[in-house]
Homo-oligomer: A and B are copies of this chain.
């Protein structure tokens, strides 16, 4: 039975070579203050002894962990994963790793995660607030302590006060609905998510704005705000919605790709033809819509880029003089209506 080996540390190398710890440390850093021949000896010995630096000790000493904390509302939403991929991409290029936490759509969890990050395990925090997040105080308190924070997606007015990256949800959905109207649609249905979530409020606003501008009547029974936070129940809700409808719409604008796909699925099963009978538009563009038959027309949201941008803002903060009152940066990314087969 062999037990865990004691880690090799600088001291061990130093002792073996009969030099000081400081010199070993500097040698490994290729600090020109140490003779080349010594550097070589140190490197060889370190290698031979299987030395691995202790990142924790380094972090304590330097005050940097090179880890970025990321808090997303849920894992099972391709949008968030894609953003994380973008963050990871940018972060890695700049020698940072990411620690991902899910707030599970709960404000309480969000706060917990935040305060656990506050314990110094991360150099900065990227956060996408949950729909339950109505107050900014927990975030503000972090910022006040000098910890860099960047937010993305679902940013309420009350919550603006940190750098953040968003899209203009209202304008995006306006343009999608406008497109439908210009195609001659008269009975346009809206399917969104929980009303508490800012992005859904904005997307609904865009819908209403477009309908108003072109004087198209808005029918309450063609509007659905899904309440579910769970993939499974989304399906049920949408199914119920269409089962209840008496006079069908001629187009459906939905606030996520998943709603779009579920809408198509249910409509197809009820015997409607897409896009001949009913057009459908989604929101997101994360690959699934392209596979479906018919493929889903949707608003493409630049998720990966959003992640990259968010990471860039954060890392910029790392390098700025640490001014707590620094002017916050707001980045608005462009969306685009991608035409596919689910619309005429």
- Given A146-B3, A323-B3, decide whether A118 and B52 contact each other with a Cβ distance below 8 A: yes
- Given A75-B88, A118-B52, A120-B55, decide whether A5 and B146 contact each other with a Cβ distance below 8 A: yes
Contacts of A288 in B (CB 8 A): 288
Is A201 on the interface with B (CB-CB < 8 A)?
no
Determine if A145 and B53 form an interchain contact, defined as CB atoms under 8 angstroms apart. Answer: no
Determine if B3 and A121 form an interchain contact, defined as CB atoms under 8 angstroms apart. Answer: no
Is A28 on the interface with B (CB-CB < 8 A)?
no
Tell which of B60, B261, B321, B325 touches A60, judged by Cβ atoms closer than 8 Å.
B60
How big is the A interface, by class?
A: 35 or more
Q: When chains A and B are docked, how far (Å) is the Cα of A118 from the Cα of B56?
A: 11
Contacts of A2 in B (CB 8 A): 323-325
Tell which of B1, B4, B121 touches A146, judged by Cβ atoms closer than 8 Å.
B4
A82-131 interface with B by 8 A CB criterion: 82, 84-85, 88, 97-102, 115-116, 118-121
Determine if B287 and A265 form an interchain contact, defined as CB atoms under 8 angstroms apart. Answer: no
A275 to chain B, nearest CB (A): 14
Q: When chains A and B are docked, how far (Å) is the Cα of A55 from the Cα of B56?
A: 10
CB nearest to A65 among chain B residues:
B56
A268-285 interface with B by 8 A CB criterion: 268-269
Is A264 on the interface with B (CB-CB < 8 A)?
yes
Copies in the complex: 2
Contacts of A146 in B (CB 8 A): 3-5
CB nearest to A119 among chain B residues:
B55
A209 to chain B, nearest CB (A): 30
Is A54 on the interface with B (CB-CB < 8 A)?
yes
Contacts of A50 in B (CB 8 A): 145
Q: When chains A and B are docked, how far (Å) is the Cα of A293 from the Cα of B67?
A: 43
- Given A55-B121, A265-B293, decide whether A75 and B84 contact each other with a Cβ distance below 8 A: yes
CB nearest to A142 among chain B residues:
B52
Is A211 on the interface with B (CB-CB < 8 A)?
no
A92 to chain B, nearest CB (A): 8
A3 to chain B, nearest CB (A): 6
Indicate the member of A3, A235, A325 with the most B CB atoms within 10 Å: A3
**Interface residues of A, Cβ cutoff 8 Å to B:** 1-5, 7, 50, 52-57, 59-60, 65, 67, 75-76, 78, 81-82, 84-85, 88, 97-102, 115-116, 118-121, 144-146, 231, 235, 258, 261-262, 264-265, 268-269, 287-288, 290-293, 321-325
- A-B contacts, 22 of them at CB < 8 A, read A1-B324, A2-B324, A3-B146, A3-B322, A3-B323, A4-B146, A52-B145, A55-B121, A56-B59, A56-B60, A57-B60, A67-B121, A75-B81, A75-B82, A75-B88, A76-B82, A76-B85, A81-B81, A88-B102, A97-B99, A97-B101, A99-B100
